[in-house]
Amino acid sequence: MIEKKNTNLSRKLKTIPTGTGVYLMKDSKNKVIYVGKAINLRSRVRSYFQSSRDERLFVGFLVKRIADIDFVLTDTEKEALILENNLIKQFKPRFNINLRDDKTFVSIKLDLNEKFPYPVIVRQIEPSGATKKRPGKKNGILYFGPYSSAKAVRETLRFVNSLFPIRKCSDNVFKSRVRPCLYHQIGRCVAPCCDLVDEKTYKEILQEVILLLKGKNDELLKVLRGKMHEESKSMKYERAAKIRDCISAIEETVERQKIRTMDFTDRDVFGYYGEGNDIQIQAMFVRKGNLEDIVSYRFPTIDNTPNDIFRSFLNQFYGHTRFIPDEVIIPVESEDKGILEELLSEQKGHKVNVICPKRGGKMKLVGMAIKNAENAFKIRHMMGEDIESVLNSLKQQLSLRNLPKRIECFDISNIGGKQAVGSMITFENGMPVKRRYKRYKIKTVSQSDDYAMMYEVLTRRYSRAFKEDDFPDLAVMDGGKGQLGIAMKVFDELGIDKTDVIALAKSKRNGKRNGKKKYAGEKTSRQKLDERVFVCGKADPIVLNQESSELRLLENVRDEAHRFALAYHRKLRKKQYQPESPLDRITGIGKVKKKNLLKHFGNIQKVRNASLDELKKVKSIGSKDAKDIYNHFHYNN
């Protein structure tokens, strides 16, 4: 029951209406700690304070922390479901299941509305296949996926592009292309940008790509073998040989699907496995009868029942960017099944079924998902136990004060001081936490001075950390004694003593080290440079065993920081040295006019060949502009 001293909460419980809506429970600091929905708000909320009416174990922990309750009335239970989902994502309450990675999945998109379509990787699926250019068009866009691994999708596209001579450049490059690129010269593109292939022939090639992406390998191979025989009969042996090589590559590279069903239905299948206050949810994505991907989610349950977890999980899982299948198969009944079906059907545009099977083939699919969830759960726990021992060993070997559960690593990337950037990456329990990654553009240093750049990055990072009381257990510098000294200087100036600091550097030269003494433990092998760990308070570095898990962890952290910094540095350099369009050299032709020209003509070659009268028809291009453009292409070159 509610303590008598909390009279405000007691009064509010008496005034809660009986309508449908959402309730927000808050703690003494006015922070939302739980969000729920109810058909009858008064009955549902009061049940939390009547132990005999609510048997969920986490409720006891929750009730002790409730200081206030707010509520929002809705017209329907479906509106309450949507609002509950949005509020959970907004406030991330402690006692709710919080699905954080709702943009993990990527898909391959093929917009057949374009004249010369090409496959691209996307994270958002536009509702009903609508596009920005054709906002109500429902047909003409194909999506393949979703896939949890962006790396696997890129490998798939690389394979597709190596086999089929389809377009590979983006719209901006495609429109401004003057002559065929290197891909055309090596036979990997038919150069639609320069009108070297007609639309019909290009679409025929694209149909083969679609068959491959749909997994219809037998049908594709049949088509390719037919084309190979036709080319051979026509004595075009070189083309026949290319098709033969393409057939061999498909047969060798495309793996057989792990699962097939005969009805070719798109369905998502869920299973779970849990022990104690920890649960693993496994999602299997079946597309056109084939199992395309499997992905796992882990949640602390706080003694929630599987029913509670799935209800909250599914409500958050199917956001507006998620592909919605024809069937959603779950292992436990959900009280929101009806309204979830209605909501998904509206988003899909036709009927979607949420099913909890009891027998048959669909029950076997659930059993497979449950088995995979159990396997993922056990592997993760084994890895967790392993990483705990690695962290303890690292703490002991480096004489750290803290167990390095959370590690931040810093690196600097520049060429002669130009486009200088810094990176900070974060690992927690041996795994990267990308939401905590940060990149810094160097502002105060113009010359090549890595120490000064590191000083700026560390000062910016830990000045903020000092204000927010947000410190890692261990800070790692990519470098030697100099970088360690800079880090200690920043920490001394800011008065920070909570965090351990080390620097990680390779030996300058094995054995000799430029005439200096070889540190104890360093090897003289020419095959691999030893890693040296510089620790505050020790003159000589520590050399960890090259095959040890402790060193591998530090190397993974350092390499990730280096990769992240280098990627940002390359992005800035690419932006700086991006080649200009021929239109950029014409006085008076800015971004808007250039865009209108390319939109009107399609590519730069057609702008070059246009007459004065044709140029004048373009939006925002006057007589003087048309004359300048015409003269530039016909008299200046």
Q: What is the pLDDT of residues 494-539, one digit of tens each?
A: 998 889 999 998 765 544 444 444 544 444 444 456 788 999 888 8
At residue 186, the 3 state secondary structure works out as: coil
436 and 557 in a single domain? The answer is yes
Domain count, the chain: 5
State which residues form the domain around 608: 582-634
Residue 43 lies in a domain: yes
451 and 554 in a single domain? The answer is yes
Residue 466 lies in a domain: yes
- DSSP H helices, 299-360, are 306-317, 337-348
Whole-number average pLDDT of the chain: 78
pLDDT band at 10 (very low <50, low <70, confident <90, very high): confident
289 and 427 in a single domain? The answer is no
Please name the residue that has the structure tokens 């097939």: 260
34 and 164 in a single domain? The answer is no
Residue 388 lies in a domain: no
- How far is it, in rounded angstroms, from Cα 584 to Cα 435? 38
Of the residues 327, 361, 378, the one at which a domain ends? 378
365 and 465 in a single domain? The answer is no
Q: What is the CATH number of the domain that holds 620?
A: 1.10.150.20
Q: What is the CATH number of the domain that holds 362?
A: 3.30.420
What pLDDT, on a 0 to 100 scale, did the predictor assign at position 525?
43
422 and 339 in a single domain? The answer is no
Tens digit of each residue's pLDDT (9 = 90 or more) over 445-493: 878 788 999 999 999 999 998 888 889 999 999 988 899 999 999 999 9
355 and 476 in a single domain? The answer is no
What pLDDT, on a 0 to 100 scale, did the predictor assign at position 407?
95
312 and 165 in a single domain? The answer is no
484 and 564 in a single domain? The answer is yes
pLDDT at 113 over 90: no
435 and 563 in a single domain? The answer is yes
- How far is it, in rounded angstroms, from Cα 128 to Cα 551? 50
Residue 396 lies in a domain: no
Residue 398 lies in a domain: no
Name the nearest CA neighbour of 535 among 503, 560, 565, 557.
503
Least confident of 364-373, 420-429, 572-581: 572-581
412 contacts 453 by C-beta, under 8 angstroms: yes
Residue 247 lies in a domain: no
Spatial CB neighbours of 445, under 8 Å, sequence gap ≥ 6: 417, 420, 452, 453, 456
What pLDDT, on a 0 to 100 scale, did the predictor assign at position 521?
47
Cis geometry, peptide bond prior to residue 146 (ω within 30 degrees of 0): yes
324 and 450 in a single domain? The answer is no
27 and 149 in a single domain? The answer is no
Residue 452 lies in a domain: yes
pLDDT at 100 over 60: no
Here the tokens at position 428 are 């927690």
Residue 422 lies in a domain: yes
- How far is it, in rounded angstroms, from Cα 293 to Cα 316? 20
What pLDDT, on a 0 to 100 scale, did the predictor assign at position 511?
44
Here the tokens at position 217 are 């390998």
Tens digit of each residue's pLDDT (9 = 90 or more) over 561-619: 998 888 887 877 766 655 567 787 788 888 888 888 888 888 888 888 888 888 988 88
What pLDDT, on a 0 to 100 scale, did the predictor assign at position 194?
87
* Euclidean distance between the first and the last CA atom of the chain, given in angstroms as a whole number: 87
- Which of 221-235, 292-306, 357-371 has the largest mean confidence? 357-371
